[in-house]
Amino acid sequence: MASAIFRSFQVHPFLLYPSTLLRQRNGVYHLTTKATQSQTDTQQRQPQTKVSTSSTQSKKLDKIPKNYEAIIGIETHVQLSTLTKAFCGCPYHYGSPPNSSICPICMGLPGALPVLNSKVIEFAVKLGLALNCNLAFNSKFDRKQYFYPDLPKGYQISQFDVPIASAGFLDVDIPVEFGGGHKRFGITRVHMEEDAGKLLHAENGNYSQVDLNRAGVPLLEIVSEPDMRNGIEAAEYAAELQRLVRYLGVSNGNMQEGSLRCDVNVSIRPIGQSKFGTKVEIKNLNSFSSVTRAIDYEISRQVQLHSQGQEDQIVQETRLWEEGSQASAIFFRTITMRKKEGLADYRYFPEPDLPAVILSQEYVDDIIKSLPELPEIKRRRYEQMGLSMQDVLFLANDKNIAEFFDATLAKGADPKLVANWIMSDIAAFMKNEKLTINEIKLTPEELSELIASIKGGTISGKIGKEVLFELLAKGGTVKGLIEKKDLVQIVDPVEIEKMVEKVIAENPKQVEQYRGGKTKLQGFFAGQVMKLSKGKANPGLLNRILLEKLNSKS
């Protein structure tokens, strides 16, 4: 726990009376405690270690000196998107006014008792299965005890020695630009627990306030094996976890809102050494790129200390990742948050207010049946369709895009053609308009229809693109648009011949030049005919007839 960042805590005289501690205003509880000025200044900011690589962050993987290797493990907290909190009926909405979604149970009032929301178990089982874990059919909740103002009961309901899922793995495809390749990272355990509230510190540092909206929100903690070796692998692991929880619908996985929080453990050792180095924990990572950068920064910091013979200065501690800009200089760094003085004793014991968590095989089987196709399986399926890894990752890594893709395929469209359309024009449109695939007006049915219309020769590829943009922006059906705009391709040779003759008749000078040897002018004629046909002329037919006419010297 972050007890050190909140070291000073002072109570204002008017708050001595309990009634002022909990003021109800407009139906909103305000829980207020007051801290001293020095409160935010007590963070143990160490003089920043100057590390040469710190300001030149890049995506390259060759930053780790060849004679060292890094050992990285990740603890991830995923906030579950249940309708109500884990142990009471309060809803949770990110960003709602402080203490507007609390009740005696999540406030830890005397006499209040927790009752488990069964969705928490369902979501835990889903994720456990998706992470290829062994499920504990008989697990329980435990109390993890520590004091902190955001922890209303003085203990967190968690799982200690019998997590609901353990010993699994997560398969990840590293993006091509980072070297590619398939990696399998071990999952140590997945357990259920409740979130704590939040402390809001006054800007002047004079006081802190407690917001308990988040207290009691269900979390799954996923602990990985120390299987990652660099920042990219760690970030890809986290990204895959995010995809998984989104695919499963157990969390929105949003890092900015704290729905998915990663704490990483980093240690280094010279290659060939079997003993692990001292492990350092890094917190405050709220994007995948910060995961990458923080780890690579931390590796550099540790390697530098080690290579300078100062390995004793790598101590077991928790460091905060900071990135930002100061005086027009961008900086990245990890700073000491607190040193660990031995292991904290949380005095775990079984939670007596909650019955044991017993899973039946039938219950688990039903959940297995309900699982969607997971990202890894989807990627392998796309790969087998003959798509490139780049296409596979683009299509499979976003649940909504994958659904769109699959829905289009279900209408009988050719995978490679669909992939091309999505990856090129549709992706470009979404990027320009800042829309997600769920927000565009084009439906999978119409994309499939469009591809079929081009393939079947009803419209040309060129017209196809026009139709596509119309569909993307305004919606409608392919058939409707073709009819309305009279876009059906002209495949009647007689009709095309007429247009060719008309163009030839209207451009005698160019005909002369062509026949005089300037055959490049064929493109000019083709363009004119196409223009005349409003783009509807079948290009093959057009060119054949055009050449016939131009070369017939009649």
Partner 1 sequence: MLLSTLQTPRSLSRLSLTRHSHSYTSRASLTDQTPTLTTSPPPHSEILSTRQTLLSRRASAADLALSRLAHLRLAEPRLRAFLHLPDDDALLAQARRVDARIAAGDDPGPLAGVLIGVKDNICTKDMPSTGGSRVLAGYRPPFDATAVKRVRELGGIVVGKTNMDEFGMGSTTEASAFQVTANPWDESRVPGGSSGGSAAAVSARQCVVSLGSDTGGSVRQPASFCGVVGLKPTYGRVSRFGLMAYASSLDTIGCFGSSVADTGILLHAIAGHDRFDATSSKQDVPDFQSHFVSVSSLESKPLKGLRVGLIRETIDKGVDAGVISAIRAAAMHFEELGCSVNEVSLPSFSLGLPAYYILAVSESSSNLSRYDGIRYGNQVYADELDSLYGGSRAEGFGSEVKMRILMGTYALSAGYYDAYYKRAQQVRTIIRNSFKEALSQNDILISPAAPSAAYKIGEKKNDPLAMYAGDIMTVNVNLAGLPALVLPCGFVEDGPAGLPVGLQMIGAAFNEGELLRVGHIFEQTLENCRFVPPFVADDDIAF
CB of 105 to partner 1, least distance (A): 8
Rule CB under 8 A: say whether 18 interacts with partner 1.
yes
Phi and psi torsions of 511, nearest 5° = -60, -45
Closest of 465, 466, 244, 473 to residue 375, by C-alpha = 244
**Of 36 and 304, which has the nearer Cβ to partner 1?**
36
* Residue 42: burial class (beta carbons within 10 Å; 0-12, 13-18, 19+): middle
Give the per-residue contact string, 272-311, with partner 1 (x = CB under 8 A; - = no).
Answer: ----------------------------------------
Q: Where does this chain touch partner 1 (CB under 8 A) — which range of 327-335, 350-358, 365-373, 394-402?
A: 350-358
Name the 3-class secondary structure at 450: helix
CA 298 – CA 64 distance, rounded (Å)? 11
Closest approach of Cβ 77 to partner 1, in Å? 22
Take residue 420 and report the two structure tokens written for it. Answer: 């091309």
Terminal CA-CA length for the chain: 92
Q: Residue 145, interface with partner 1 (CB under 8 A)? A: yes
41 touching partner 1, by CB under 8 A: no
For the segment 67-106, give every residue that binds partner 1 (CB under 8 A): 104
CA dist 530 and 111 (Å) reads: 82
β-pairing, 22-25 vs 28-33, is antiparallel
Read off the tokens for 48: 């920043």
Cα–Cα dist 265/504, whole Å: 75
Work out whether the CA dihedral 347, 339, 66, 273 comes out positive or negative.
negative
Question: By the 8 A CB rule, do 23 and 17 touch?
Answer: no
Report the 10 Å Cβ neighbour count for 215.
30
| 13 near partner 1, judged by CB under 8 A | yes
**Distance, CA of 477 to CA of 449 (rounded, Å):** 9
Q: Report, in Å, the least distance between residue 109 CB and partner 1.
A: 6
CB of 288 to partner 1, least distance (A): 34
Query: Does residue 202 bind partner 1 (CB under 8 A)?
Result: no
Q: Which of 80, 107, 130, 299 binds partner 1 (CB under 8 A)?
A: 107
7 binds partner 1 (CB under 8 A): yes
Stretch that binds partner 1, among 219-227, 234-242, 346-354, 523-531 (CB under 8 A): 346-354
Q: How far is CA 309 from CA 269, 303, 314, 334, in A?
A: 13, 10, 11, 20
Stretch that binds partner 1, among 145-153, 250-258, 401-409, 468-476 (CB under 8 A): 145-153
Cα separation values, 441 from 102, 424, 437, 480, 522, Å: 40, 17, 9, 15, 39
Cross-strand pairs, 186? 169
How many chain residues touch partner 1 (CB under 8 A)?
A: 47
Length of the chain: 554
Helices (H), 148-253: 231-248
Min CB(344)–partner 1 separation in Å: 9
* Under rule CB under 8 A, residue 9 binds partner 1: yes
Which residues 304-343 are close enough to bind partner 1 by CB under 8 A? Answer: 343
Is the Cβ of residue 154 or residue 249 nearer to partner 1 in the bound state?
154
CB of 222 to partner 1, least distance (A): 25
Taking CB under 8 A as the binding criterion, the range among 152-160, 258-266, 290-298, 375-383 that sits at the site for partner 1 is: 152-160
Under the binding rule (CB under 8 A), the answer on residue 152 touching partner 1 is yes
In the complex with partner 1, which residue's Cβ is closer, 208 or 292?
208
Query: Which letter does DSSP use for residue 123 in this model?
Result: H
Decide if residue 114 touches partner 1 (CB under 8 A). Answer: yes
Give the closest residue to 86 by CA, choosing from 112, 109, 105, 110: 105
**Closest CB 306 distance from partner 1, rounded Å:** 31
Nearer to partner 1, 10 or 420 (CB): 10
For partner 1, the binding residues (CB under 8 A) are 3, 6-11, 13, 15-16, 18-19, 21-22, 31, 33, 35-36, 104, 107-116, 143, 145, 147, 149, 152-155, 210, 343, 345, 347-349, 352-355
